[in-house]
Chain A
Amino acid sequence: MASLMRESHPLTLKVMRLSRPTLADSRALPMDSSTAVLAQALREAEQNRPTASGQIFSDLQLSDAQLPLDAFPLSEALVLPRTFGTMFLGETFSAQMCICNESAFVVRDVAVNVVMQTATQQVPLLDNGATQLAAGQPLNVQVAHEIKELGTHVLGCTITYLSAQGEHRTLQRSFRFQAANPLVVKTKVNHLERDVLLEVQVHNATHATLVLERLRFEPSSPFAAEDLNAPHGDTALLWGGSAGFMQPGDARQYLYRLRAPVASEEASVEQERAVQYATALGKLDILWRGAFGSVGRLQTSQLLRKSPGMFLIEVDKAEIDKTDIAKDPSVTLETPFCVRARVRNVSENAMTILATVDANKHPLVMPCGPTRHDLGDLAVGEAREICLEFLPLAAGVQRFGAMVFVDSVSGYTRELGHLLEVFVA
């Protein structure tokens, strides 16, 4: 009954998704070329079925003796897509639409309007001007739309025309499909002093093999990104050969170091705040390919971190006072050494700072000089350097330099767990 009530139209509308064609599977059953009695017959049969054969032809007269190609799994013939397949976020949906006049009369003023409707928006794809279709004549148009949302998409087609009886009529059809997520991206943020180590895991959530062609991290200010995945910048190990293949369910992990600008005396408090309070790390840009090169591209939203924030009194530089520190950052057991620490007032008011070394917190590296240092008045953004002496009493990697900073003006106190770690040889 529903079909009887449906309007009949002289026009038909068909839509075909234009995913990539693929090479047909070779269906020849290969046999020995020389000794088998049926080998010659099979070769003749293969010549009658070139689209089912795995043979590859050249104008050069190359012998098959060394290289029988009859068992190669792919033929040279392209086959159109067998099914609609699955649509994924980041791919481009393109379709061939055919409007055909199946009546015996001319249909005039045929106008086609196509939109893509998602949960959040309606995107116009095509608005063809009026044309005329003779009996049996088709009108072919193509539409394309980049899939940027997950979930239900509806391709809505509206065709208006003037029938043979002079009546204005409308044919409406809609085609619904789902857009799924091809890749699941998880990140983990680790802090390394001022820098950030960003771990990225990418998981193939489809049922097909993907080829990951590019994964790039685009950092946000003030960070600069260092790719730790390609040793010496050799990306062939990451993406070349079979390395780029991701089977269904495979996961890959990547590591980036996001470097914050080095703290300097010239840097203002505002610049330092911009670094310490920065939450946006950057975005990942991923490019992959499916069968026969179909492209997909995704960019994540801003990856965020919980900002470490700032104390009102910062030690923005602390280093062991040693001429060859770059070559040999260790100190000698039971030999005193000096540490230069730069203390900065990063609050919004002037401070009078008193710094005290806690002698009990790290007993294996004892302070052996003055433990109280009066830094005096520090204006906003101003820094002062102090020299602290320590005596290492145990070998190995040791933390030391627990300190307390007190502003006698406001009463603000900052406790520092340790200044540095050092290797005691």
Chain B
Amino acid sequence: MSSLLSGIRSLSPQSPTDTARRALNDVRLFVPTPLTDALDDLVHAHTPTDRPTPRRDAPTPDAFAGRMHSYEILNQYIVGAQWRALALAAEASILETPADEERTLFKLWTYRILALCSLGHYANAAREIRRLEVATMGASVYEHVHPRSPTIVWPFELRVLRAQVAGLALDDWPTCADRLSSLHRACHRRLARQTDVELNQQRTVRLSFMLATCAVRMRDAQLAVRVMDHLVSEAPTDPRLTSAMARLHLQLGSIREAELQFVKVEQLIPPDDKLARMNRALYAVASGKWEAARDLFHSVAGDVPEEHVCAANNAFVCEVYLGHPQRMLDALQRLMVAAPRAAGASEELVFNYCTGLDLHYDGAKLREEKARKMVDVATWAGDGFNTASFKLQ
């Protein structure tokens, strides 16, 4: 750049002096999408060149540019966890949609931001949301400030994503909580006006759970429990909600309180309901009763563990605490083969499996086993798989 121009900053969409509203299909709203996939890179780095590696989609912008992609196609990308393709298809569709079709454009932006978050590109998602905010300045993003806003209304999902991205991108969970609280208040106002009652009731429940998540991330156990208490008080006879409350107490270490809640659940459902057995099993884990926990989890998983992946996984985890890590390894491997998508591509199961490998093997043998597992996972996993699950130091 010429030295004559140094020190002169051009106006960017983030500049506070730029008050011009951009169209929602303006190309300048987008941040370049990284198209590499960490799992692909890992597989190629750790698999010998003479061994075949699974073919995984490697979408390129050219394959999507210049045309609209239907909602059916976009939804297929969601189901297949093809987040890179979704990000590119949403971008292309946005660019092809007329600027005055704001509802459609916002829906497409929801797909776009969802894809970026699912890929773990939270910083990029935050930047694009910020650009969207500037582009729609004065619109109903800040509904509590402008309750009678002009016609542009961000979809609820996009506003939720905007709140969550603050926490995910910047670890700024207080801001996330503020934004979610603002949405919560807006939903309450609508409920008070008897507008879309069922929808707004669902929304307030979801937002309360998300607020509890923020509280947990902020390490504010008392706030998390208070939020859940409030939810439970509004639906005291729903056993799932009371179970959720109890499990949160278990996670935080409040075992006595968890026990009280589990007892309430047992009064609401039959004793052999799988929810009751799962609760008892989790309580047994927290009490250090590994054999009882394992047997209860097995009773939930039954003869078809691939249909109850969580219960089966939990039963196998108990084997480590019972002194049989090899059993966990063998059982997890069988489960991952039987349910390659639900179990084989599960970050949690892969992590547990690799923990077992770390305990059992060392050196070249350990690397070989992990490389084998990477290939298995890469065959079935979609984009954005968290490769930290393989525990490669």
Chain A residues in contact with chain B, CB under 8 A? 12, 14, 16, 18, 20-24, 26, 29-38, 40-42, 44-45, 47-52, 54, 56-60, 62, 65-80, 82, 96, 98, 100, 102, 138, 140-142, 208-211, 213, 239-242, 244-245, 247-248, 289-295
Cross-chain pairs A/B with CB under 8 angstroms, 21 sampled:
A21-B317, A30-B206, A30-B209, A38-B74, A41-B75, A41-B79, A49-B81, A56-B275, A58-B273, A59-B274, A67-B240, A73-B213, A75-B348, A77-B309, A96-B321, A100-B360, A140-B324, A211-B255, A240-B256, A289-B253, A291-B252
Closest to B307 in A: A50
* A50 and B342 form a contact (CB under 8 A): yes
Please give, as numbers and ranges, the residues of chain B lying within 8 Å of A240 by CB-CB distance.
256-257
Please give, as numbers and ranges, the residues of chain B lying within 8 Å of A38 by CB-CB distance.
71, 74-75, 78, 110-111, 114, 157
* B321 and A293 form a contact (CB under 8 A): no
Closest to A59 in B: B273
* A51 and B274 form a contact (CB under 8 A): no
With A and B bound together, what is the CA distance between A240 and B320 in angstroms?
A: 32
User: A291 with B355: in contact, given A56-B243, A73-B213 (CB under 8 Å)?
Assistant: no
Knowing that A68-B206, A73-B213, A247-B220 touch, tell me 11 more A-B residue pairs with CB under 8 angstroms: A14-B358, A38-B114, A58-B275, A62-B239, A71-B210, A77-B313, A78-B317, A80-B351, A96-B359, A244-B256, A292-B251
In the complex, the number of residue pairs spanning A and B with C-beta atoms less than 8 Å apart equals 271
Query: For A29, A33, A35, A58, which residue has the most chain B Cβ atoms within 10 angstroms?
Result: A58
Please give, as numbers and ranges, the residues of chain A lying within 8 Å of B348 by CB-CB distance.
24, 51-52, 75, 77, 79
B280 in the interface (beta carbon within 8 A):
no
* A37 and B107 form a contact (CB under 8 A): yes
B376 in the interface (beta carbon within 8 A):
no
B44 in the interface (beta carbon within 8 A):
no
Please give, as numbers and ranges, the residues of chain A lying within 8 Å of B254 by CB-CB distance.
211, 242, 244-245, 289
Tell which of B11-19, B145-153, B283-291 binds the partner.
B283-291
Please give, as numbers and ranges, the residues of chain B lying within 8 Å of A289 by CB-CB distance.
253-255
Task: Name the interface residues of B213-254: CB closer than 8 Å to any CB of A.
Answer: 213, 216, 219-222, 225-226, 229, 235, 238-241, 243-244, 247-248, 250-254
Please give, as numbers and ranges, the residues of chain B lying within 8 Å of A24 by CB-CB distance.
348
- The one of A40, A42, A51 in contact with B310, judged by C-beta atoms closer than 8 angstroms, is A51
- The one of A29, A59, A210 in contact with B161, judged by C-beta atoms closer than 8 angstroms, is A29
B266 CB to closest chain A CB (Å) equals 12
Please give, as numbers and ranges, the residues of chain A lying within 8 Å of B341 by CB-CB distance.
48
B76 CB to closest chain A CB (Å) equals 8
Please give, as numbers and ranges, the residues of chain B lying within 8 Å of A56 by CB-CB distance.
240, 243-244, 247, 275
With A and B bound together, what is the CA distance between A291 and B219 in angstroms?
A: 12
B154-166 vs A, CB cutoff 8 Å, 1 = contact: the mask equals 0111001100100
Query: For B213, B220, B274, B341, which residue has the most chain A Cβ atoms within 10 angstroms?
Result: B213
B195 in the interface (beta carbon within 8 A):
no
* A294 and B325 form a contact (CB under 8 A): no
With A and B bound together, what is the CA distance between A69 and B348 in angstroms?
A: 20
Chain B residues in contact with chain A, CB under 8 A? 71, 74-76, 78-79, 81, 107, 110-111, 114, 117-118, 155-157, 160-161, 164, 198-199, 201-203, 205-207, 209-210, 212-213, 216, 219-222, 225-226, 229, 235, 238-241, 243-244, 247-248, 250-257, 269-270, 273-275, 278, 282, 285-288, 309-311, 313-314, 317, 320-321, 323-326, 341-343, 345-349, 351-352, 355, 358-363, 365
* A290 and B253 form a contact (CB under 8 A): yes
* B361 and A100 form a contact (CB under 8 A): yes
Please give, as numbers and ranges, the residues of chain B lying within 8 Å of A138 by CB-CB distance.
326, 360
Closest to A22 in B: B251
Closest to A244 in B: B254
- The one of B117, B235, B239, B323 in contact with A141, judged by C-beta atoms closer than 8 angstroms, is B323
B139 CB to closest chain A CB (Å) equals 19
Please give, as numbers and ranges, the residues of chain A lying within 8 Å of B275 by CB-CB distance.
56-60
Please give, as numbers and ranges, the residues of chain A lying within 8 Å of B257 by CB-CB distance.
240-241, 244
Please give, as numbers and ranges, the residues of chain B lying within 8 Å of A14 by CB-CB distance.
358-362
User: A-B pairs with the 5 shortest C-beta distances?
Assistant: A293-B286, A41-B75, A71-B209, A73-B213, A76-B310
Please give, as numbers and ranges, the residues of chain A lying within 8 Å of B311 by CB-CB distance.
76
Please give, as numbers and ranges, the residues of chain B lying within 8 Å of A241 by CB-CB distance.
225, 229, 257
Query: For B71, B212, B244, B317, which residue has the most chain A Cβ atoms within 10 angstroms?
Result: B244
With A and B bound together, what is the CA distance between A58 and B239 in angstroms?
A: 9
User: A62 with B286: in contact, given A29-B161, A38-B111, A209-B253 (CB under 8 Å)?
Assistant: no
User: A41 with B310: in contact, given A30-B206, A51-B348 (CB under 8 Å)?
Assistant: no
Closest to A14 in B: B359
- The one of A20, A69, A74 in contact with B248, judged by C-beta atoms closer than 8 angstroms, is A74
Closest to A81 in B: B355
* A58 and B240 form a contact (CB under 8 A): yes
Closest to A39 in B: B157
Please give, as numbers and ranges, the residues of chain B lying within 8 Å of A40 by CB-CB distance.
75
With A and B bound together, what is the CA distance between A138 and B325 in angstroms?
A: 10
With A and B bound together, what is the CA distance between A409 and B152 in angstroms?
A: 103
Closest to A35 in B: B199
* B359 and A16 form a contact (CB under 8 A): yes
A51 CB to closest chain B CB (Å) equals 4
Please give, as numbers and ranges, the residues of chain A lying within 8 Å of B114 by CB-CB distance.
29, 38
A240 CB to closest chain B CB (Å) equals 7
* B251 and A29 form a contact (CB under 8 A): no
* B118 and A73 form a contact (CB under 8 A): no
With A and B bound together, what is the CA distance between A413 and B83 in angstroms?
A: 93
Please give, as numbers and ranges, the residues of chain B lying within 8 Å of A211 by CB-CB distance.
252-255
Please give, as numbers and ranges, the residues of chain A lying within 8 Å of B212 by CB-CB distance.
72-73
- The one of B155, B201, B346 in contact with A51, judged by C-beta atoms closer than 8 angstroms, is B346
Please give, as numbers and ranges, the residues of chain A lying within 8 Å of B243 by CB-CB distance.
56
With A and B bound together, what is the CA distance between A51 and B155 in angstroms?
A: 28
With A and B bound together, what is the CA distance between A74 and B314 in angstroms?
A: 14
- The one of A31, A48, A75, A210 in contact with B79, judged by C-beta atoms closer than 8 angstroms, is A48
Please give, as numbers and ranges, the residues of chain A lying within 8 Å of B239 by CB-CB distance.
58, 60, 62
A61 CB to closest chain B CB (Å) equals 12
- The one of A26, A47, A102, A239 in contact with B365, judged by C-beta atoms closer than 8 angstroms, is A102
Closest to A70 in B: B206
* B320 and A80 form a contact (CB under 8 A): yes
B297 CB to closest chain A CB (Å) equals 9
* A68 and B360 form a contact (CB under 8 A): no
